[in-house]
Structure 1
Amino acid sequence: MAMAFQWVRSLIFTIVIYLWMGVLGLLFAPYALFSKRGALRACKLYARSTIWLARWMVGIRGEVRGTVPTGEVMLAAKHQSFFDILLIFDAVPHAKFIMKRELMWTPVIGLYAKRLGCIPVNRGKKGAAIAKMVKDVAREFEEPGQLVIYPQGTRVAPGVKKAYKVGTAILYEGLKNPCVPVATNVGVFWPRSGILRKPGHAIVEFLKPIAPGVDRHSFMARLEEEIESHSNELMREVGFDPDAVH
């Protein structure tokens, strides 16, 4: 009975946050079309209000740990669900995401993603996609911001193993900025797919920056080790054993 009640709460919550996205998107659209600041304010409001609604409606308490980056850095983040996007976006001053090209054409999300300076990537053309991504990122970094990339390329369920992609290292080498690894456990409570949201303590943690100049092989090994080990620690902290997943 309790699980059924939580599922109904989760369904109502999901409907509310997507309706709220549409309402805010339309209200701020005239401002966002002519002002990047307007787009940023709308998205900040959406992130903060959704984080608040998650706690109130389905019992997910969000927390951000570590030193929040404020300068021009690359954030290489573990990606488990939509909630880690919201927590990161709310925490840093101006996040710019590497995202699937298809999302740039969706209503509301596409408009605001373009205004925020998000970088679309065609995942079907690996070599060409990486080259274009580097060029686009260099252009967008003419304005300050924090570039968010997901080294595994997609959402990954807690405990599931997935390779880290070399595009993160290529950007790290090209930008010559520090890279901040980001760990999370949010997928334990807000899964990558489905309706059910489970009550609990969802955490995003900014880890110690990796300074520019580390060679590609060492960078990728260190990045994966830090993100995976800290994410596993965060999951164990809330009672989820990532090693039990097969």
Structure 2
Amino acid sequence: MNEILPWFRRRRVLRAAAAWMAGGGFAAALAQQRGNVVELRGDVLLNGQRLRPEQFIQTGDAVRTGPDAHVVFVIGNAAFQLRQNTAVKIERGDTLHTVSLLDVATGAVAAVWGPGHARQIVTPTLSATVRGTGTYVEVRPQEKLRSYFCNCYGAIELATGRERTLSKAEYHQSFWAEPAPVNGRLLTPARAMAHTDEEMEFLAQLVGEPTAWQVAGRRGNRDGSGAIGPGR
């Protein structure tokens, strides 16, 4: 019965998250020289070697997940969930534990970024500058590396080719970053898809940052517009 639940609702994940938060989060893990992996399932490689649950993922590292694998980890005030068949490189910022750039070569990544300096997410077809926000990105090799990007909440600067836009969202504003123009555009609107509010809330909890809809006490309709719904 447990195996049909979403990953973020499985008992082992909830126990791991509770232990992470009770243990003081990232700062305590760093001070106590514990790992920053909250949840690990399946074959995950860290710099080409099998990742162990007690290890520490840091900036400068490359992480790759295999089929039916995923990993959840926290670096500084940012939490990440890499789904199966995903490959990322985590670039270093001002310090070893400050992410400056997340390079997503393929696969899918959900992330919550706490407030602070500007950071970047890049894919083969998109560049996004983020601060305090939640994001979900997919790179689809079967569609010529077409990228899907969702600004789950916050303000994000998006760029692809010569196109630029500022996305401001309270509730899931979504885009396709096309490998070739569609009706003359490389950045086209999309519906919110492939990730849930509960996933983002789970990641936000790991860094002590509520989502915009949790603060507002209401949600939108997931049409990709970024608008939150009216109060009840």
> When the two structures are superposed, what TM-score results if normalisation uses the length of structure 2?
0.31
Question: Which has the higher relative contact order, 1 or 2, with Cα contacts under 8 A spaced 6 or more apart?
Answer: 1
Q: Which has the higher strand share?
A: 2
Q: Please, what TM-score do these two structures have when normalized by structure 1?
A: 0.30
Q: Which structure is larger by alpha-carbon Rg, 1 or 2?
A: 1
